[in-house]
Amino acid sequence: MKKIINDVDTFMDESLRGFSKAHADIVSVNYQPTFVFRRECRPEKVAIISGGGSGHEPLHTGFVGEGMLDAACPGQIFTSPSPDQMLMAAQQVNSDKGVLFIVKNYAGDVMNFEIASEMLDSECETVLVADDVALAKDHSTGRRGVAGTLIVEKIVGALAESGASLVECKAIGDKVASSTASMGVALSSCIVPAQGVATFELAEDEMEVGVGIHGERGRELMTLSSADEIVALLSKAIDDDLKLTNGQQVLLHINGFGATPMLELYLVYDIAERFLADKGVNVTRSLVGNYTTSLEMAGCSITVTKLDDELTHLWDAPVHTASLRWGM
Amino acid sequence: MKKIINDVDTFMDESLRGFSKAHADIVSVNYQPTFVFRRECRPEKVAIISGGGSGHEPLHTGFVGEGMLDAACPGQIFTSPSPDQMLMAAQQVNSDKGVLFIVKNYAGDVMNFEIASEMLDSECETVLVADDVALAKDHSTGRRGVAGTLIVEKIVGALAESGASLVECKAIGDKVASSTASMGVALSSCIVPAQGVATFELAEDEMEVGVGIHGERGRELMTLSSADEIVALLSKAIDDDLKLTNGQQVLLHINGFGATPMLELYLVYDIAERFLADKGVNVTRSLVGNYTTSLEMAGCSITVTKLDDELTHLWDAPVHTASLRWGM
C-alpha cells in the first residue's frame, strides 16, 4: 500500500487537523465525536447537515460553509458516521428553525441519521439521495447515493441561506434528488488504508460499469472500450431514468473518482454534452472535477440534474466552502 | 494503458473542446495553433500569458480568466508548445501595454517563448519560474519550474488587472518567483498516452524524492517512509533555500500530482504547517489540492512563498478562472 500516511489509526484525525487549519476562515472541527462545522453559524436559518464515510473528499467536509452545509460528519474511511456525531453536530449548529439531514442511501448512514433524528430535541427532516441509476429503482436496498449529492447540498444550502423554512428546504431537496441521476465507471480499484489491499480486482483490459463510490459491483464487468462508448453507456442509462425531452435545461456534472486526469474528465464532458445536445437537451450549468472521490480510484461518473429557473437560481447563489466557491 | 480516451492523436483537441464548453463564460479556445484565451479581453491591461506541455491540468488552461492569465498555450502532453501558439495567443490578447510571458524553466519552453517574443511586434518581458529546489541552484539546466508557477500567475495576474505597467508586472513576477520554493515526491509514475507505458518504475516500497512534474529523476530514490519523514525531507530542503526566519509570513501550497487523495494532502499540510510553526514561521495563506499535476501520478509537492503585505493583497484579489476562483 503506497500512501503518504503515518498511522492508519490516526490518519483521519491528522488529516482533519490539516483541513481545519487550511480553512480556518470557514470551518472548525470538533473531535470526539468528530464533526466539521461552519465557523460562523447563523441561528436564524435551517441547519443543513450531511455526512458519511470518509474517502470521498471533498464530499462532504469540503462543502461546509456559507451557502451550503452547516456541518458534516465524517466517518472512518468508507464507514458510516455514528449517531452521536450527527447528534452533536446538530446541537452545535441547530437553530429554532430546525435541522435538515442530507443522507446518501446506504443502510448504515440511513439508520444512524434516523437514530440521531429521533434523539434530537428539535424539528428534523431528512432528504435521501439515491441518484445512482446503475441499480434498478426497485432494487432491494434501493439505489445508492453518489455524486448527485453535492448538487442537492448546494441547492438546499442556498435556499436555507435565504431564510426558507424546514418544510421548504425539505421540499427543494426532494425535488433536486428526484431530478438527478448518475452513473459511473471504474478503471481501477482504490486501497482502503485499514485493509491495505485493493477493494476489488480489474484486469488490464476491464472496467466496472455502474460502479459505486466504494467500489461496489455495478451493472457489468466489461472490456475497456473507447471514451465514446463508455460515455454513451452511462448517458443512455441516465437518460432512460430521467426521460429527458427536447428543450430540457440540465446541469451536467462530470466527477472524477480521484485518479482520473482533468484532460479525461473534460473529454467525457465533451462527449456527454454532445449526447445531450443530440436529444435537444441544453446544458446550461456544468461542474467538472474530482468532487465525490473513492480515494485514488480511476474512473468517473456522469450526473445530470434537470433544471428549472428556481433550481438554476439556487445553483448560482453565492457559496463559500473549501472546495466549491463562487460569488464571494 | 487504462485511460478514458478515444484516440491518442485527437485526445488533446477533444478534451479542450470539452473544457471550452464547460467554461464558455470564461474562456474561448483557438485551434491550429491551439491556445486558450479570456473570453473578454481587456485592451487596457498588460497581457499575461503562460503555457507549457499538457498533462499538468488545471495548470495552465484552468487559470485563464479575470485576475490571472489572459491566455495559455497547451503543448502536447509533456511537450513544449510551439512559438506560433505563443505568438498567435499574444496577438489575440495583446494590448498597447505589452505582453508578459510566464515560463517554467524547461529548455523547450524557454527557447520557444524566446522565439515568440522575438517575433512579437510589441513590448514583451518574461518571468522565468524555477522553484524546484530538488536541484542545486547552479545545476547545468537550472532548476525546474513546478507548482510555484500558479502562485506567480495569480499574483502577477492580480497586479496586471489593476492596470500596472509591464515593468511593474515583470518586477512583481520576479519577486514572487524568487520568494518561492517547491519540492515533490512521487509514489507512482504516470503513463503518457502517446507512450502507453509508465514513464519510470518504482518498486512497491520505493519513492522518488525531488521528482519533477514529468517524472524526472529527483534527488534520491528512497524507501517509502512515514508522512512525517517525507514532509520533513521536503520542508527542510525548502527552508534551506528560502532561509525562513522567525516571524516570516508565508503561503503554504500542498499540491497533489493527480492520484493523491485529499485526505493525504491535508495530512501533509498539517505536518508542514507544524514544521514551519516550530521555526516561528506563520502560514497566513494556504492552497491544498491537485493544481499542478502529472496526469495520474501519485505523490505531492510542498511549495512555500514568502509573503509581505503587497503579495498578500495581490493573492487575495478577486480571481475568476475555471480552477481558481474567489471574490467574484
Residue in B18, B266, B295 closest to A270 by CB: B18
Contacts of B234 in chain A (CB under 8 A): none
d(CA A226, CA B151): 36
Hey, how many other C-beta atoms are within 10 angstroms of the C-beta on A139? Answer: 12
Catalytic pick among A23, A60, A139, A214: A214
Interatomic CA distance for residues B98 and B88, integer angstroms = 14
pLDDT tens for B252-274 read: 999 999 999 999 999 999 999 99
**Over the range B168-197, which residues count as b (16 or more CB within 10 Å of their CB) and which as e?**
ebbebbbbbbebbbbbbbbbbbbbbbeeee
Q: Which of residues 147-176 of A touch B (CB under 8 A)?
A: none
Quickly list DSSP for A24-67: TTTEEEETTTTEEEESS--TTS-EEEEEEEESSTTTTGGGBEET
- As a whole number of angstroms, the distance between CA A144 and CA A147 comes to 10
Catalytic residue flag (residue B56): yes
- Report the residue from A54, A270, A298 with minimal CB separation from B296: A298
Residue B141: predicted pLDDT: 85
Mean pLDDT of B206-235: 95
pLDDT tens, A110-121? 999 999 999 999
Query: What secondary structure does DSSP assign to B165-231, as a single string?
Result: -HHHHHHHHHHHHHTEEEEEEESS--B-TTT-SBSS---TTEEEET--TT----SEEEE---HHHHH
For residue A191, count CB atoms less than 10 angstroms from its CB and return exposed for 0-12, middle for 13-18, buried for 19 or more: middle
Strand order in the sheet with B27-30: B27-30, B35-38, B71-77, B47-54, B99-104, B124-129
Looking at residues A16-20, what average pLDDT do you find? 98
Please name the amino acid found at residue B228. Answer: D
pLDDT at A218: 84
> Is the pLDDT score of B42 beyond 80?
no
Q: Report the residue count for chain A.
A: 328
Segment A5-14 shows an average pLDDT of 97
Spatial contact of A264 and B258, defined as CB atoms under 8 Å apart: no
pLDDT number for residue A164: 98
Q: Which of B264, B269, B296 sits opposite A260 (nearest CB)?
A: B296
Q: Is the pTM of this model over 0.95?
A: yes
pLDDT of B140 = 84
Could you report the predicted ipTM of this complex, rounded to two decimals?
A: 0.97
pLDDT-based confidence at A140, cuts 50/70/90? confident
Active site residue A214: yes
> Which domains occur in chain B, in start order?
11-178+316-326 (3.40.50.10440), 180-312 (3.30.1180.20)
Query: Cα dihedral angle (A69, B62, B185, B253), rounded to 10 degrees?
Result: -60
Residue A58 has pLDDT above 80, yes or no: yes
Q: Which of A79, A25, A28 is closest to A52 using CA atoms?
A: A79
Report whether A129 contacts A177 (CB < 8 A): yes
CA–CA distance, B172 with A113 (Å, rounded to integer): 52
Residues of B in contact with A299 (CB under 8 A): 4
Helices B262-278 and A11-22, packing angle to 10 deg: 70
Helix axes A166-178 and A309-316, enclosed angle (nearest 10): 110
pLDDT at B96: 85
Report the number of secondary-structure helices (H) and strands (E) in chain A. Answer: 8, 15
Percent of chain A past pLDDT 70, that is, above it, reads 100
Q: How many secondary structure helices (H) and strands (E) does chain B include?
A: 8, 15
